[in-house]
């Protein structure tokens, strides 16, 4: 018998009515996340990632469809659904009235969890906050506040952890600490749903991915399958002269750096021949494997949507 999905999005739709008429933020979004998965939700700004997470968390209400957490509907059985969820919000928010320990005790209390100082201490130690337990939230740096947000999401020991762009604007050290900790929680059996703009993070951590574009799922597969299914080769080089027009469509240019996708050796040869015939002189030419960023851009440009 198949197990109940940790999270199930079924035909989720969300329409906002604005001054310029109705805006479809989500359109018929359906996919399941299985227990124990480390799942990535990717998409450009405005794709609907945070709206989807908000509906899951009960911060917003879907215009249509249904969301279940371990089989509990987030609207009709919200208490059970929310007890299974630990949400790390995108915004760096805090309650200025309380110390770190007070904030964690209060957050646990909302979920009916009391006398859990041992777990709070463990969370603080794992997130590098042990010496900040009695500090007021206002005294903490941005990075420290972000760690407290993670601790607050985990204080009631939820089986499903949702991180909405948790590393946006965060320094390297915190990113490492956070990912080590979340990866450990995932190994211990927690389901993790992550939205991020850092595609290398998603590639390194997530075993499966969904990509959203304009409120619709445009890709849903194992990370390895997405990587294998795309252009396997990427030419990277530097060049001062403009690209020939015939290559412009399939290339990505950042300043002097040019990246061109090629599916096999014949295509690589053809690209180089085109450059040579146009009189272009590429410098520091590299031929490498395509990464998730290439897959992402390819899908978002509609090539495989």
CB 240 to another protein: min, Å = 47
Q: Which of 200, 206, 212 is nearest to 225 (CA)?
A: 206
Helices 100-110 and 117-126 meet at what angle, rounded to 10? 120
Cβ nearer to another protein, comparing 106 with 270 = 106
By DSSP bridging, strand 233-238 and strand 257-262 are: antiparallel
Residue 305: helix, strand or coil by DSSP?
coil
Helix (H) or strand (E) run with residue 296 in it: helix 292-300
Strand partners, 191: 160
- Provide the minimum distance between the beta carbon of 93 and another protein in the complex, in angstroms, as a whole number: 4
Closer of 48 and 282 to another protein (Cβ) = 48
d(CA 129, CA 119): 13
Q: Burial of 17 by CB count in 10 Å (0-12 exposed, 13-18 middle, 19+ buried)?
A: exposed
Binding another protein (rule: CB under 8 A), the pick from 3, 23, 64, 95 is 95
User: CA 155 from chain center: how many Å?
Assistant: 21
CB closer to another protein, 31 vs 78: 78
Nearer to another protein, 132 or 208 (CB): 132
> Which residue among 6, 29, 33, 57 contacts another protein (CB under 8 A)?
57
| Nearest distance in Å: CB 78, another protein | 7
User: Which of 106, 183, 247, 305 touches another protein by CB under 8 A?
Assistant: 106
Q: Please give the size of the binding site for another protein, defined by CB under 8 A.
A: 31
- State which residue, 43 or 89, has the beta carbon closest to another protein: 89
Q: Is 93 in the site for another protein (CB under 8 A)?
A: yes
166 vs 186: CA distance, rounded Å: 16
Shortest approach of another protein to residue 51 CB, angstroms? 9
Q: In whole angstroms, how close is the CB of 210 to another protein at the nearest point? A: 22
β-partners of residue 209 are 40, 221
Residues in 219-258 at the binding interface with another protein, rule: CB under 8 A: none
For residues 223 and 139, what is the distance between their CA atoms, to the nearest angstrom? Answer: 40
Nearest to 192 by CA among 86, 70, 54, 81: 86
CB 225, min distance to another protein, A: 33
The rounded distance, in Å, linking the Cα atoms of 260 and 237 is 9
Instruction: Pick the closer one to another protein by CB: 54 or 191.
Output: 54
Which of 35, 36, 58, 244 contacts another protein by CB under 8 A? 58
Which segment (100-108, 206-214, 247-255, 293-301) binds another protein by CB under 8 A?
Answer: 100-108
Cβ at position 4, least distance to another protein in Å: 15
Q: Where are any strands of DSSP class E within 214-256?
A: 216-222, 233-238, 251-254
Positions that interact with another protein (CB under 8 A): 54, 57-61, 78-83, 85, 87, 89, 91, 93-98, 102, 106-107, 109-112, 114, 152
């Amino acid at each position: 018998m198949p197990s109940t999905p940790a999270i199930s999005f079924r035909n989720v739709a969300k329409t906002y009515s604005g001054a310029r008429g109705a805006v479809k933020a989500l359109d018929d979004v359906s996919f399941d996340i299985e227990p124990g998965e480390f799942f990535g939700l990717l998409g450009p700004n405005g794709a609907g990632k945070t709206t989807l997470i908000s509906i899951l968390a009960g911060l917003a209400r879907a215009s249509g469809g249904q969301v279940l957490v371990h089989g509990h509907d987030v609207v009709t059985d919200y208490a059970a659904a929310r007890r299974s969820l630990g949400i790390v919000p995108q915004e760096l928010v805090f309650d200025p009235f309380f110390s770190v320990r007070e904030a964690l005790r209060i957050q646990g209390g909302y979920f009916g969890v009391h006398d859990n100082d041992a777990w709070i201490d463990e969370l603080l130690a794992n997130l590098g906050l042990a010496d900040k337990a009695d500090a007021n939230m206002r005294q903490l740096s941005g990075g420290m506040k972000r760690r407290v947000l993670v601790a607050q999401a985990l204080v009631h020991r939820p089986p499903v952890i949702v991180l909405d762009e948790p590393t946006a604007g965060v320094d390297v050290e915190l990113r490492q600490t956070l990912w080590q900790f979340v990866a450990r929680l995932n190994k211990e059996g927690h389901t993790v749903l992550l939205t991020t703009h850092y595609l290398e993070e998603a590639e390194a951590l997530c075993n499966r991915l969904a990509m959203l574009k304009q409120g619709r799922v445009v890709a849903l597969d194992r990370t390895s399958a997405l990587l294998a299914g795309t252009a396997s080769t990427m030419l990277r080089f530097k060049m001062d002269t403009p690209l020939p027009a015939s290559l412009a469509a399939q290339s990505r240019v950042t300043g002097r750096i040019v990246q061109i996708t090629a599916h096999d050796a014949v295509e690589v040869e053809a690209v180089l021949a085109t450059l040579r015939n146009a009189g272009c002189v590429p410098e520091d030419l590299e031929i490498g494997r395509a990464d998730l960023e290439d897959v992402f851009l390819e899908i978002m440009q509609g090539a495989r949507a």
